[in-house]
Amino acid sequence: MKTYTLEEITDKHIGKKGTPRRDAFESELQLELLGQRIKQIRRNRNLTQEELGKLVGVQKSQISKIENSLTNARFDTILKVFRSLGARINFNVELT
């Protein structure tokens, strides 16, 4: 039985790196991970979505959409969320 790496499977079923389909997939994955991290930190801080929304200045529904990757939230909103959670933000930008 032959084994495959995750990269090989992704290349085969999603597309090679640099293709539009692969770029869209990786972008969605990053947004999903970001939403999960926000939810995890919010829960660790014992905040409801409504309480976090008030701290950020948005509705509870917006926090829910961000946590569940149902919206492309504005960058400044994401920054406000992390600031309200007292979380340090680090971004890495890589040139291709």
Q: What is the spatial distance between Cα 31 and Cα 37, in angstroms, rounded to a whole number?
A: 10
Contact by Cβ (8 Å): 14, 25: yes
Q: What is the pLDDT of residues 1-30, one digit of tens each?
A: 889 888 888 888 888 988 988 888 887 788
Q: What is the pLDDT of residues 69-96, one digit of tens each?
A: 887 788 888 889 999 999 988 777 677 7
Compare 57 and 73 and report the one with higher pLDDT.
57
Show the DSSP H helices in 1-96 as ranges.
Answer: 6-13, 20-44, 49-56, 60-67, 75-84
Confidence at 34, pLDDT banded by 50, 70, 90: confident
Q: Which residues of 35-55 are buried (b: 16+ CB within 10 A; e: fewer)?
A: beebbebbeeeebebeebbeb
DSSP-derived secondary structure letter, 15: -
End-to-end Cα distance, the chain: 35
User: What domains, with CATH codes, occur in the chain?
Assistant: 6-84 (1.10.260.40)
Structure-token pair, residue 36: 């999960």
pTM: 0.73
Structure-token pair, residue 56: 């950020």
Compare 42 and 1 and report the one with higher pLDDT.
42
- The predicted model gives 43-63 an average pLDDT of 95
